[in-house]
Copies of this chain bind each other. A is one copy, B any other.
Amino acid sequence: MPLGRRAVAEFAGTAVLAVVVIGSGIAAEQLSPGDLGLRLLENSTASALGLAVLILTFGPISGAHLNPVVSLADWLGGRRDHGGLSTRALGVYVAAQFSGAITGALLANAMFDRSPWQSATQARVTGGHLIGEVLAAAGLVAVGFAVARHGRGVNAAAMAAYLGSAIWFTSSGSFANPALTLGRMLSDSFTGIAPSSVPAFVAAQILGGLAGSSLITLLYRPAARPR
């Protein structure tokens, strides 16, 4: 598949992912003012289902990474076994993902008749939340690589189930995606994150991605001798 087309897929897919996460968050905030948990349930359900659809739609074109941590892990794995993203493709993917996430955030704001350019105000950094982000990104990468051997249907369902669960079981809300974290910074709504919290979250996500990738390598490497 030509790299240009893969870039379009990563751009469009990450843009829609940002619309899904931010848009459903705005809808939930408007419709369920009384209970934060219900709002998160609405947001997590819409996000999980939307992610599955995006993987099915864009997976055959670009692999549907939609996440710089996933592309980074793929590139790292490829350096070892010569099958992942090339260094040039990594750069293109990450650029498409960040610009897609920004575009999606603006579109979500506009679609809900809000000012397109905004800056979120929710400070999110605590010690527990950073543990949460490390765990969220580690799980995301580990699950992604473990289920890659299945067909795309199971693959998409697994990633959706992971997101729908991790939003709840991590204390941080499972951002687990630096591009999406940047997009969320641009909408002052339920799923937003204040700019001051972004660097620590992104660092935790990269650390988690490396940890998840190591766990899978440890478990799935060819066994010397079965017993």
Q: CB within 8 Å of B: which residues of A?
A: 1-3, 5, 8-9, 12, 16, 19-21, 23-24, 26-28, 30-32, 34-43, 45-50, 52-53, 56-58, 60-61, 107-108, 110-114, 126-129, 131-132, 135, 139, 142-143, 146-147, 149-154, 156-158, 160-162, 164-171, 215, 218-220, 223-227
CB <8 Å contact, B111 and A46? no
Chain B contacts for A215, CB-based, 8 A: 12
14 contacts between A and B (CB under 8 A): A5-B223, A20-B169, A21-B169, A23-B168, A24-B169, A27-B37, A28-B168, A31-B36, A37-B38, A49-B165, A50-B169, A52-B158, A114-B128, A150-B152
Main secondary structure of the interface of A (DSSP, over half): helix
CB <8 Å contact, A169 and B32? no
Q: Which listed residue, B56, B150, B161, B219, touches A50 by the CB 8 Å rule?
A: B161
Chain B contacts for A128, CB-based, 8 A: 110-114
Q: Which listed residue, B26, B132, B165, B220, touches A61 by the CB 8 Å rule?
A: B220
Chain B contacts for A113, CB-based, 8 A: 126-129, 171
CB <8 Å contact, B8 and A218? yes
Total identical chains: 4
Most chain B CB within 10 A, of A35, A49, A131, is at: A49
With both chains docked as a complex, state the minimum distance between the C-beta of A101 and any C-beta of chain B, in angstroms: 14
Chain B contacts for A167, CB-based, 8 A: 46
CB <8 Å contact, B164 and A157? no
CB-CB under 8 A for A49 and B226, given A31-B40, A41-B42: no
Chain B contacts for A156, CB-based, 8 A: 158
